[in-house]
Amino acid sequence: MTPSDTKQGTQKKAASAVEKAADRRIGVHLSTTGGVANAVRNAATIGANTLQIFSASPRMWRASKISAEQGMSTRAARAELNIGPLVIHTSYLVNVCSQSQEVREKSIAAFRGEIERALALGAEYLVLHPGSYRGLTRAQGLELAAESITRAIDGVPWQGADFYILIENTAGAEFSLGGSFEQVAELIEHLRPHAPVAACLDTCHTHVAGYDIVSEAGWAETVRQIESTIGCDAVRVWHCNDAKAERGSKLDRHQHIGEGKIGLEPFRRLLHETKFAHAAFIAETPVDAPGDEERNVRALQKLLTSASDRDRQIKLVEEIMDKDRNILKALAE
């Protein structure tokens, strides 16, 4: 390898990093104060090219409908600023596998409203936590979840829309449906005949549920498990959250990117994983101070364009080799 070859290789890597950064969709969960179109503009202002929102208060059963004007203004803002996909997170109250018929009926009605608002806004994805099956068996919880989601979407004209319900993996707490990739895959399979469905995976949930995403070997095994259960192609969104708790703790406590138990390198690996190149990467990190949303978006973007430890080591070896060749060349002359 000549110095010219090394330089060309470095330039190609740099160009590839820039191209990759432009292709990846990186964003954050944002407030809709001032309207959804305003949230889209705020996403662009902080450098994001995708975003997640709540379409209504996440802690109230009743919600207003989305007007035609709101839908049009949101679509126009997204088209102007190239923001997408638009991801909506379902209300925390919704529990589609509750043993309580009253809660389940409220959840079905609320989730139907979530679907209708998502379609009105032109959102591509609606993320759902399957809920808690406390008081039931896991099999019963799975059946109730599938039945409730099917009822919620029945009669809603989703066909022809670029729209998917995303089942999110959970932190693995007792009675929480979706604490393993197998459970997420199982629910997706139950729903496929009745609804447009795929998956959303959360880095914090994955970590505290017990999967190793921190070590390089562990990450490779985790990707293999995702592929063999859910399928990497079915993962449309990654929630990028560091974790305050240890692996396997089952404690869902989000932390800023690089400041928790996961650390920076696993996020770099995730963003560079070609099997998830089609996905959107959205932070749901704490907002402890003004500017935290932008700070976490920028952290993810920097990881996408900066070199990994291995890349830096390779570059150092190449530089040493070039220096040795130059010395040998000078001695030969």
- Could you tell me the residue ranges of all domains in the chain? 24-308
- Could you give the dihedral angle defined by the CA atoms of residues 251, 254, 255 and 261, in that order, rounded to the nearest 10 degrees? 40
* 272 given a catalytic annotation: no
* 133 given a catalytic annotation: no
Burial class (CB in 10 A: 0-12, 13-18, 19+), 157: exposed
- The per-residue pLDDT for 154 is 97
**How far is CA 313 from each of CA 127, 317, 319, rounded to the nearest angstrom?**
39, 6, 10
Q: Tokens at residue 331, please?
A: 């001695």
Exactly one of 124, 242, 252, 293 is catalytic; name it: 252
> Which residues are CB-contacts of 134 (< 8 A; sequence separation ≥ 6)?
99, 174, 175
Exactly one of 143, 147, 273, 284 is catalytic; name it: 284
Q: Is the pLDDT of residue 60 over 70?
A: yes
| Residue 151: pLDDT band with limits 50, 70, 90 | very high
Q: Tokens at residue 53, please?
A: 């929102």
**In one letter, which amino acid is 120?**
A
* 92 given a catalytic annotation: yes
Exactly one of 114, 116, 168, 293 is catalytic; name it: 168
Cβ–Cβ < 8 Å for 178, 205: no
- The per-residue pLDDT for 329 is 59
* 252 given a catalytic annotation: yes
* 256 given a catalytic annotation: no
Any idea which residue has 């099999």 for tokens?
A: 139
Q: Is the pLDDT of residue 272 over 70?
A: yes
* 125 given a catalytic annotation: no
| Residue 287: pLDDT band with limits 50, 70, 90 | very high
- How far apart are alpha carbons 216 and 233 in whole angstroms? 21
Cβ–Cβ < 8 Å for 152, 112: yes
Any idea which residue has 């090219």 for tokens?
A: 49
Q: Is the pLDDT of residue 14 over 50?
A: no
Q: Tokens at residue 26, please?
A: 């990186």
Exactly one of 25, 29, 78, 89 is catalytic; name it: 89
**In one letter, which amino acid is 276?**
F
Taking residue 293's Cβ as centre, other Cβ atoms within 10 Å add up to: 21
Nearest to 43 by CA among 94, 1, 75, 84: 84
* 24 given a catalytic annotation: no
Question: What's the rounded mean pLDDT across residues 243-258?
Answer: 98
Cβ–Cβ < 8 Å for 261, 207: yes
Exactly one of 254, 256, 268, 295 is catalytic; name it: 254
Nearest to 113 by CA among 72, 190, 58, 160: 58
Q: Tokens at residue 174, please?
A: 């007792």
* 124 given a catalytic annotation: no
**How far is CA 314 from each of CA 10, 13, 62, 308, rounded to the nearest angstrom?**
11, 12, 57, 10
* 190 given a catalytic annotation: no
Of 5 and 39, more confident: 39
Cα-trace Rg, the chain: 22
Exactly one of 59, 102, 288, 333 is catalytic; name it: 59
* 239 given a catalytic annotation: yes
**How far is CA 11 from each of CA 15, 46, 85, 304, rounded to the nearest angstrom?**
6, 28, 31, 16
* 211 given a catalytic annotation: no
Nearest to 303 by CA among 261, 259, 271: 271
Question: What's the rounded mean pLDDT across residues 151-159?
Answer: 96
Percent of the chain with pLDDT over 70: 85
- CATH class of residue range 24-308: alpha beta
pLDDT per residue as tens digits for the range 118-146: 999 999 999 999 999 999 999 999 999 99
Phi/psi for 63 (5° steps) reads -145, 150
- How far apart are alpha carbons 150 and 152 in whole angstroms? 5
pLDDT per residue as tens digits for the range 210-236: 999 999 999 999 999 999 999 999 999
- The per-residue pLDDT for 316 is 47
- How far apart are alpha carbons 45 and 42 in whole angstroms? 5
**In one letter, which amino acid is 75?**
R
pTM: 0.88
Per DSSP bridges, beta strands 125-128 and 164-168 are parallel
